[in-house]
Amino acid sequence: MFPLITVGIVVLNRDWIIERMLASLHSQTYPHNKIFVLMVDGGSTDRTVDIAKKFLENSDFYGYKIIVEKCSIPEGRNLCIKNMKGDFLLFWDSDVLMEPEAMRLFIETMRKEKADIVTANAHFIFVSRTDEIESKIDISRTCFTDSCILEVPNCGMGHTLISKKVFDAVRFDPDLTIAEDLDFSVKSRMRGFKIIMDKRIRVFDVNVIKKDYSDIHIDMPLKNAVRGIRKKAKAHVLAYSFKINLKGMLKFFLKNKRYIFYLGYAPMAFLSALGIFYHSLYLSITLPVYLLAFLALQIKKRGLRKGLNSTLRSLLVGFPFSLCLAYYFIKETMHR
């Protein structure tokens, strides 16, 4: 028996990929009369909505609905929950393509593992032009054994099937302009819901390489970047592992060295303050030199405007976020 599944697509300005994404959905072997397509557009200024509407009008799905409303990603996901049909919601990002058997495998794994949330391990592909996408996709299965299906402490939402009963207890936090998926999955896990990753499911996250460096953390309005910093840090820590300890904290920071750099602002500022107090030129310029070195690297990587923006955000966002990360890692380590 095939249950009705709502496919939730939260989208903004994706006219370059939305038709391919919907074609991937249409290629699913899962019965199309059991698929309801729900697209939430956050206010695209390109042809995303027109392309999607034209495609869906000619499809054979159970039905579809397109909601155009100015919203953040978590708000868009909550709109999908509010308007879903059936007992299952599959979040499918607009730049994600899946193999034809994906939806069938999602449901099969959810039933077999008695899971509440099932996700896949996405393969990132990078192209310079959209016509290169097909040549980069390899749907040959590399994972066959039961070890390819495992319980995980968190998951993203770009390719994840969720049972409706989870939504009775958890929703997406609108304060989390990023990491809303980590926060949602951690809260779900802590309420006893089981999260399973099925590595057999072939999923591809498409990224177009552009000369103009693009980064969600830099392009995002500053007020959104600083919004919910404490919650974002806590979500990152709790999502890291089932068990938080000192070894895990060290491993996390060594893997994400930029947070170590951001934390370095504190001792650099202290040394500069000492230098000013003791009239030491070399000590007093410690923080400015630290900042200028970072600025030079960012300008080289991103250009002048984004380099300046990145450096400013490293102080206003990166530093407090890193402090919160350290705080929650220590707190969770001591608590456990």
Distance (Å, rounded) from C-alpha 243 to C-alpha 247?
10
| pTM metric for this prediction | 0.89
AA letter at 73? I
Strand partners, 237: none
pLDDT band at 110 (very low <50, low <70, confident <90, very high): very high
Q: Are residues 17 and 91 in the same domain?
A: yes
Tell me which residue of 54, 66, 43 sits closest to 19, measured CA to CA: 54
Q: Which residue among 159, 182, 208 closes a domain?
A: 208
Structure tokens at 73: 């990603």
* 35 & 171 share domain: yes
Kindly report, residue by residue over 158-174, the tens digit of the pLDDT: 999 999 999 999 999 99
pLDDT the model gives residue 112: 96
pLDDT in tens, 217-265: 667 788 888 899 999 999 999 999 999 999 999 999 999 999 999 999 9
* In a shared domain, residues 28 and 47: yes
Q: How many domains does the chain fold into?
A: 2
Same domain, 168 and 62: yes
User: Do 25 and 170 belong to one domain?
Assistant: yes
- Which of 167, 184, 208 is at the close of a domain? 208
User: Among the three residues 208, 227, 250, which one is the final residue of a domain in this structure?
Assistant: 208
| CB-based contacts of 175, cutoff 8 Å, min separation 6 | 74, 227, 228, 231
Same domain membership, residue 276 and residue 139: no
Residues 18 and 97: their CA atoms lie apart, in Å, by 10
Q: Are residues 174 and 196 in the same domain?
A: yes
CA–CA gap between residue 256 and residue 265 (Å, rounded): 16
Give pLDDT tens digits for 188-229. Answer: 999 999 999 999 999 999 988 764 444 566 677 888 888 999
Q: Do 154 and 294 belong together in one domain?
A: no
253 and 284 in a single domain? The answer is: yes
- Its domain, for residue 66, covers 5-208
The two structure tokens encoding residue 38 = 């729900």
What's the full length of the chain, in residues?
336
